[in-house]
Amino acid sequence: MANEGSLAPEEFLVKASEFFKIANEKGIAVRLTVKRLVKHDPVLGNAEFDTIDKPHYDVSKVATSVTVQDNLSSQEIYPLLFRITYGSHANKQKCSTVVNPDVLDKFWLDYSSVVKSSMNGLVKKKKSKSKSSKEKKKNV
């Protein structure tokens, strides 16, 4: 497993296009993930991970049912973690980058253009019809 580590955003985009090129040639899947980066503090703990006592940090769908006072809501701005991987087990190649919110718009435009231009080998899967639809056609 080769980990390129956390790259600069520009280097990550170059590496992403290389990953797509190799994956298209070999016919293997590329996995893209984006998530909010929260540094975990094992000693003090993080309020972001304590959603029972501090629901104002919870950004999941469950949190929409919980009403929170405005003065308790989190004002912290989090960077985003972008990851890309292809291959599996010993041949797995991966790299990541951390993007700050102030440069996110520019990075997102560049990232989406790299992804769109690299996904030229997509093939629509053929779905088999279910038994119920076959039986309906026979009865008609």
Give the domain ranges of the chain. Answer: 2-37+78-139
pLDDT tens digit sequence for 41-56: 777 777 666 766 766 6
Q: Picking from 26-35, 59-68, 120-129, which range would have the lowest pLDDT averaged per residue?
A: 59-68
Asked whether the beta carbons of 66 and 55 are under 8 A apart, the reply is yes
For the chain, percent of residues with pLDDT exceeding 70:
66
Q: Tell me the C-alpha distance between 3 and 23, whole Å.
A: 16
pTM of the model: 0.69
CATH architecture, domain 2-37+78-139: 2-Layer Sandwich (3.30)
Give the CA angle between residues 48, 50, 53 to the nearest 5°: 125
Least Cα distance to 7 among 88, 118, 17, 116 occurs for: 17
pLDDT tens digit sequence for 7-41: 999 999 999 999 999 988 888 889 999 998 877 77
Adjacency order of strands within the sheet including 2-7: 2-7, 93-99, 80-86, 30-36
Query: Tokens at residue 100, please?
Result: 């700050």
pLDDT tens digit sequence for 83-110: 999 988 888 999 999 999 999 999 999 9
